[in-house]
Chains A and B, each alone.
Chain A
Amino acid sequence: MNEYIVRFSVRQRIEHFSVMILFLALGLTGFAQKFVDSPWAIWTINTIGGIDRVRWLHRAAGVMFTVFAMVHISIALFMVLTRRSRPSMIASRKDFQDAITQLRYYLRISDNPARFDRFDYRQKFEYWGMVLGGMLMIATGFMLLYPVIVTRLLPGEFIPVARVAHSNEGLLAFLIVIIWHIFNAHLSPEVFPFDPSIFTGKVSREYMEKEHPLEYARIMREDEEKREAETDEAP
C-alpha cells in the first residue's frame, strides 16, 4: 500500500501555480494603483517602469486570469456533467451542519470535530469566494478597460461603481489570501510550516484520515472493491 495518496491532479497543480503567479502580479500592479499616494506604490511604479507599463501588465495579467478562469470553469462543468468527477466543491446542507458541529467542537460543547469529505466547509468557502470574487473582478475589470463599449448598454455611473467594486473586491481577496490562505497552508499547526500538497499533489494517509476522513474511507472502499473485482476476474 502506498504511503501517499494523490490528492491533486497535474492539471489542478498547474492551475494553482498559474493563479498564484497571476494573483501576485495582479495584486502588485493593482495595489500600486490603488494606494498611489504611498511611497512604496510610487517606488513600485517607478521600478516597473512607469504607470503606463504597470497598467499594461495589470491588464495582460487580467486577461490571462480570465482565460484561466474560463478554462477552469469549462473543465469543471464538463467533468461534473459527464460524471468523470464528483461535484466535490458544491456546497451542501452537510457543510452548514459541519460548520455548526465544528463550532460546537471549538467551543468545547462537544469533543467530536466534524468529519469532512474531500473539501471541508472552509475550503469550499475559499473556493467559491475565489470563483465569485474572480467573476466580479473580471466583469468590473473589463468594464474599466472598455468604458466606451460598456456605456453603450449601461449607465455611465456604472464605470465609477466598477472602479470602487474592483478596488475593494481586490483588497478583500488580498486580505483573505493573506490571512486565511496563508494560515491554512502555512501557519496552521496541522501543516506548519508549509503544506506542499498543492505543488506535489500528494498527501499522507495520516493527514487524509484526520482531515478528510469521509473521503479517505471512500477511497479505501473503492480500492477494496477494485481489488475484489480484480481477484474475481482472475482465473
Chain B
Amino acid sequence: MSWKLLQYSVLFAGLMLISAGQAAPASPDPPSNDDCLTCHGKPDASSKLGDGEALSLYVDRQIFAHSVHGGKLACTNCHTNITAVPHAARQFKDRRAMSLAYYESCKECHFAEYTRLLDGVHYAALEKGKEKAPTCVDCHGSHAMGPPARPRKQISATCAQCHVAVGAAYARSAHSDALAKGNADVPVCTDCHRAHDNANPLTTASHLRISELCAHCHTNEKLMAKYGISTQVLTTYLADFHGMTASLHRSEGLKSAMLTATCTDCHGVHDITWVKGPASGVIKANLLIRCQHCHKGAGPNFSSAWLGHYEPSLRHAPLVYLTKLFYMFFIPFVVGGLIIQILLHLWRVVVNI
C-alpha cells in the first residue's frame, strides 16, 4: 500500500467516524416497516377510539407492497410522529379525527396537489369545520392506494360515495353509458369539476364557464367525428341570444345576474342523454319544458324559436335562411343605387361648372 493511498484511507475513515458520531446520538434509525409490522402485522391488532369504536390497527403487508407506494415508502414517511417502537398509544376522539390528523402527510411529496386542494371547495368546507369534507385519503385510499384514475370509471364511483344523487344522475347519462363500456373519450367527474381545486359549481362564474367546459370536447373535430356529433354547437350557441349574453356577462365578470341558458340548462347537468334518444330533454317534445323553466307561459311554438344548433339553410329554418339571403342582395342593391344617384348628381354639378 502506497503512502498516499494510506493517507486517503485514514482521512475517509475519519470522516465516516465524524459523520456517524454526529448523526447517531441525535436520532436513532427510524423504525423499519418490519419493526412496525411486528405489531401492526397481526390481524387482531386494534385500539379503542374516543367514541368507543374499535379501530383495527392491522396493515396487510401484501396489500401495502402492491399499493402504489409499496417498496417506495416506509411507514414512518407518512406516520412521521412515530420515531421509535414501541410507541405510546395515540388517542383520537373518532375515526374521522384520525384521518384528519394524517392528511397533511401527503403534501411532503405531493405539494402541488396539496396547494391546488387549498383552492378547492372541499378544503373550504374543511376549513369551516365541516369534518366530513374529503381529504386525500378519502378519495385515494391509504395503505391499499392504487394509481389514480385507473380504471377511469373508478373516479365517478369515488365521487359518488358522497355525491350519491349526482352519481345516480350521471349513471343515467350517455357519458356514463360509454364509460361503462370502457370508452375513454367521455368525461368523468374530474374532467369538468377538476380533481383537487374543484370550484363551487353553483356560482355565477361557474355557470358562465360551462359552455367552455363542454366545448373542450365538443369542438374537437376528430373526437366528434367518431360519434357523428356536430362541432358547430359552440359557435351556434355563442351566435345566438343566450350564448352572446353568457359570454358578455362572463367578460364583465358579473357576480350576480339573471342567468342565461347554457349547455346544461337544456341538455341536463349530469344526466346528459344522447340528443336523438327518446328520453332526451332536447328533442322537440321535451324541449319546451326546459324553455318554460325560464320563459314562463311559453306556448308549444316557442321552442322552435331556437334553431337547435343548426346554421339556417333551405333544409333547417328556411325562412331564416331566405331572410338572410334577401338582405344579402337588398342592402347592396339599395346602397348601390343611392351611391349611383349621388355620383350622377355630383357629375352633373361638375359639368355645369
Residues of chain B within 8 A of A105, CB atoms compared: 348
Q: A157-B304, A160-B312 are in contact. List 14 more A-B contacts (CB 8 A).
A: A51-B244, A51-B245, A51-B248, A105-B348, A148-B296, A151-B298, A151-B305, A160-B307, A164-B320, A165-B323, A165-B327, A172-B327, A175-B335, A179-B335
Q: A160-B320, A189-B346 are in contact. Are A36 and B339 (CB under 8 A)?
A: no
Bound CA–CA A179/B305 (angstroms): 34
Bound CA–CA A112/B296 (angstroms): 64
Q: How far is the CB of B292 from chain A (nearest CB, A)?
A: 9
A176 adjacent to B319 (CB under 8 Å): no
Within 8 A of B (CB), among A123-157: 147-148, 151-152, 154-157
A151 adjacent to B302 (CB under 8 Å): yes
Q: How far is the CB of A103 from chain B (nearest CB, A)?
A: 7
Residue total for B at the interface (Cβ-Cβ under 8 A)? 43
B331 adjacent to A50 (CB under 8 Å): no
Q: How far is the CB of A151 from chain B (nearest CB, A)?
A: 4
Contact with B along A20-41 (1 / 0, CB 8 A): 0000000000000100100000
B319 adjacent to A161 (CB under 8 Å): yes
| Residue A61 interfacial (CB < 8 Å) | no
| Residue A108 interfacial (CB < 8 Å) | yes
| Residue B334 interfacial (CB < 8 Å) | yes
B323 adjacent to A152 (CB under 8 Å): no
| Residue B82 interfacial (CB < 8 Å) | no
Q: Which of B35-43, B183-191, B249-257 interfaces with chain A?
A: B249-257
Contact with A along B267-309 (1 / 0, CB 8 A): 0000000000000000000000000000111110111111100
Bound CA–CA A52/B252 (angstroms): 11
B344 adjacent to A106 (CB under 8 Å): yes
Q: A108-B351, A151-B301, A179-B342 are in contact. Are A33 and B244 (CB under 8 A)?
A: yes
B327 adjacent to A156 (CB under 8 Å): no
Residues of chain A within 8 A of B345, CB atoms compared: 106, 188
A156 adjacent to B305 (CB under 8 Å): yes
Residues of B within 8 A of A (CB): 241, 244-245, 248-249, 251-252, 254, 257, 295-299, 301-307, 312, 317, 319-320, 323-324, 327, 330-331, 334-335, 338-339, 341-342, 344-349, 351
Q: A50-B254, A147-B295, A172-B330 are in contact. Are A161 and B348 (CB under 8 A)?
A: no
Best-surrounded residue of B251, B320, B349 (most CB of chain A within 10 A) = B320
17 of the cross-chain contacts (CB-CB < 8 Å) are A50-B254, A51-B244, A51-B245, A51-B249, A52-B257, A106-B344, A106-B347, A107-B344, A151-B305, A156-B306, A157-B319, A159-B305, A161-B320, A168-B327, A169-B327, A175-B334, A180-B338
Residues of chain B within 8 A of A147, CB atoms compared: 295, 302, 305
Residues of chain A within 8 A of B245, CB atoms compared: 51
A179 adjacent to B324 (CB under 8 Å): no
Residue total for A at the interface (Cβ-Cβ under 8 A)? 40
Bound CA–CA A105/B251 (angstroms): 56
Q: A51-B249, A106-B345, A148-B295 are in contact. Are A164 and B324 (CB under 8 A)?
A: yes
| Residue A68 interfacial (CB < 8 Å) | no
Within 8 A of B (CB), among A168-215: 168-169, 171-172, 175-176, 179-180, 183, 188-189
Residues of chain A within 8 A of B244, CB atoms compared: 33, 36, 51
Best-surrounded residue of A36, A155, A157, A188 (most CB of chain B within 10 A) = A157
Residues of chain A within 8 A of B323, CB atoms compared: 161, 164-165, 168
Residues of chain A within 8 A of B251, CB atoms compared: 42
Q: How far is the CB of B124 from chain A (nearest CB, A)?
A: 29
Which 5 A-B residue pairs are closest in the complex by CB-CB distance? Answer: A156-B304, A168-B327, A159-B305, A106-B344, A156-B305
Residues of A within 8 A of B (CB): 33, 36, 42, 45-46, 50-52, 103, 105-108, 122, 147-148, 151-152, 154-161, 163-165, 168-169, 171-172, 175-176, 179-180, 183, 188-189
Bound CA–CA A115/B295 (angstroms): 57
Bound CA–CA A137/B37 (angstroms): 83
Q: How far is the CB of B312 from chain A (nearest CB, A)?
A: 7
Residues of chain A within 8 A of B348, CB atoms compared: 105-106, 108
Residues of chain A within 8 A of B324, CB atoms compared: 164, 168
Residues of chain A within 8 A of B346, CB atoms compared: 189
Q: How far is the CB of B291 from chain A (nearest CB, A)?
A: 9
Residues of chain A within 8 A of B304, CB atoms compared: 155-157
Best-surrounded residue of A106, A176, A188 (most CB of chain B within 10 A) = A106
User: Can you name the residue of chain B whose Cβ is closest to the Cβ of A165?
Assistant: B323
B302 adjacent to A148 (CB under 8 Å): yes
Q: How far is the CB of A160 from chain B (nearest CB, A)?
A: 5
Q: A46-B252, A50-B252 are in contact. Are A176 and B301 (CB under 8 A)?
A: no
Q: How far is the CB of B314 from chain A (nearest CB, A)?
A: 13
Residues of chain B within 8 A of A42, CB atoms compared: 251
Q: A157-B319, A161-B319 are in contact. Are A171 and B331 (CB under 8 A)?
A: yes
User: Can you name the residue of chain A whose Cβ is closest to the Cβ of B297?
Assistant: A148
Bound CA–CA A45/B252 (angstroms): 9
Bound CA–CA A51/B305 (angstroms): 22
B301 adjacent to A154 (CB under 8 Å): yes
Residues of chain A within 8 A of B296, CB atoms compared: 148
